[in-house]
């Protein structure tokens, strides 16, 4: 219940929505870039974008072309900060909602 309430209040705030949209745009840029630079299908490209920006990096995919490698260098520097900022903001917002939920009702 608290989780859904936090998500709904998160989506109502314009600043949070903008951050979510920016994060999605960065993922889409990576998806399309890897699709065209590496020739991967869209699911594999999205998968690689997500695991790269979340620093998981399973190693099952890696860029093979020079263009893909160069793009990855810049993509990590640009996207990693944005994704981490989004995750930090989401975590802080959820904790704030949880604290308000735990407050005794007066």
Q: Sorting pLDDT into bands at 50, 70 and 90, what band is 65?
A: very high
Each residue of 19-33: pLDDT tens digit? Answer: 888 888 999 999 999
- 76-95: b or e for each residue (b if 16 or more CB lie within 10 Å)? eeebeebbeebeebbeebbe
Query: Nearest CA to 49 among 61, 65, 36?
Result: 61
Cα separations (Å) of 80 from 65, 75, 99? 21, 8, 28
Range of the domain at 31: 14-101
Q: How many domains does the chain contain in total?
A: 1
* Token pair for 76: 């990590």
Residue 29 lies in a domain: yes
pTM: 0.73
- Check which CATH number belongs to the domain holding 83 and give it: 1.10.287.70
* pLDDT of 5 strictly over 80: no
Residue 4 in domain: no
Tell me the Cα Rg of the chain. 17
What are the pLDDT digits (tens) for 22-62? 888 999 999 999 999 999 999 999 999 999 988 788 889 89
């Amino acid at each position: 219940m608290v989780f859904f309430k936090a998500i709904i209040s998160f989506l109502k705030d314009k600043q949070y929505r903008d951050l979510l949209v920016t994060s999605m745009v960065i993922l889409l840029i990576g998806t399309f870039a890897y699709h065209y630079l590496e020739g991967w299908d869209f699911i594999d490209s999205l998968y690689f974008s997500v695991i790269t920006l979340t620093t998981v990096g399973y190693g099952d995919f890696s860029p093979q072309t020079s263009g893909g490698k160069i793009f990855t260098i810049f993509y990590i520097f640009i996207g990693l900060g944005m994704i981490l900022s989004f995750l930090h903001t989401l975590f802080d917002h959820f904790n704030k909602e949880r604290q308000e939920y735990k407050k005794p009702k007066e």
